[in-house]
Amino acid sequence: MFSTLLADFQIIFERDPAARNWLEVLFFYPGLQAIILHRIAHKLYQIGIPFIPRLISFIARFLTGIEIHPGAAIGKGFFIDHGMGVVIGETAIIGDYVLLYQGVTLGGTGKESGKRHPTLGDNVVVGAGAKVLGNIEVGNNVRIGAGSVVLRNVPSHCTVVGVPGRVIYRSGVRVDPLEHGSLPDSEAEVIRALVDRIESLEQQVEQLQHKQIPAPVYHISIAAEEACDALQTQEEIPVTQGAVCQLRNKAIQEFLDGAGI
């Protein structure tokens, strides 16, 4: 148990640049305090002592804001960064060198008995606010993006993002465990693909119309010109014979640009 606690202590200096000396870590890191109390409660829970393990867990939650059921099995090198709002269920199993951020829940999905909480492999990183629910297995070296909701098994060496969580493989690429924020935005990629497809179809329809029907000359009123100008982006789109006012939705464009797509 001492070697496990030592690994829990040392991993903080590896993964948190703000950790400067052992005194600050010992007194001001609720994640470390919570795991120390949990390991004591877990030992008592394993040998069948009633009430006391749950009391220790309750005291740890009161002091740190982190709730870990005494029955949860947690490997060495476990680190909860900041930690407020973290909840770990009774039958959860966590491997070695796992990193959780604030607001993470490793919970169940109902009132079923037996194994009802997740199993996490080694070197797993779970981003802030993510929820991993049910009796599912998350493989080794997995990253779960902030705010994701994971409801299915996750293979090793991949990344999960979204609600519900979707798996994005990154095989062969070493990932820094602290870079859990640099994740692809799969929803933005889908929207980008749909927008590109719509624009392609619009061009095809316009080409077919030019081939089949002579293009009439439209006399656009001043009000119509102003409406077109309001819908256009900063780049001016000329209104020609047979052309319609092309829509370039600024909100969608800003969303896609902000997502880095």
pLDDT tens digits for range 156-176: 988 888 888 777 755 545 445
Do both 195 and 155 map to the same domain? no
40 in a structural domain: yes
Residues 6+ apart with CB under 8 A from 26: 9, 32
194 in a structural domain: yes
214 in a structural domain: no
Mean pLDDT confidence for 89-103: 95
What is the sign of the dihedral through the CA atoms of 53, 54, 56 and 60? positive
Do both 74 and 199 map to the same domain? no
Closest CA relative to residue 93, chosen from 118, 110, 67, 111: 118
Burial of 181 (0-12, 13-18, 19+ CB in 10 A): exposed
Do both 132 and 190 map to the same domain? no
Do both 12 and 63 map to the same domain? yes
The sheet that has 131-133: what strands, in order across it?
A: 67-68, 87-88, 105-107, 131-133, 149-150
**Residue 44 binned pLDDT confidence (cut-offs 50, 70, 90):** very high
Q: How far apart are CA 84 and CA 64, in angstroms?
A: 7
Number of domains present in the structure of the chain: 2
Which pLDDT value is given to residue 73?
96
Q: Of the ranges 15-19, 35-39, 204-208, 223-227, which one carries the lowest mean pLDDT score? A: 223-227
Do both 72 and 155 map to the same domain? yes
Owning domain of residue 201: 185-209+252-260
pTM score above 0.95: no
Phi, psi of 232 (to 5 degrees): -80, 160
The β-bridge partners of 30 are none
Which pLDDT value is given to residue 15?
87
When the pLDDT of each residue in the chain is averaged and rounded to a whole number, the result is: 80
| Percent residues over pLDDT 70 in the chain | 73
Do both 9 and 134 map to the same domain? yes
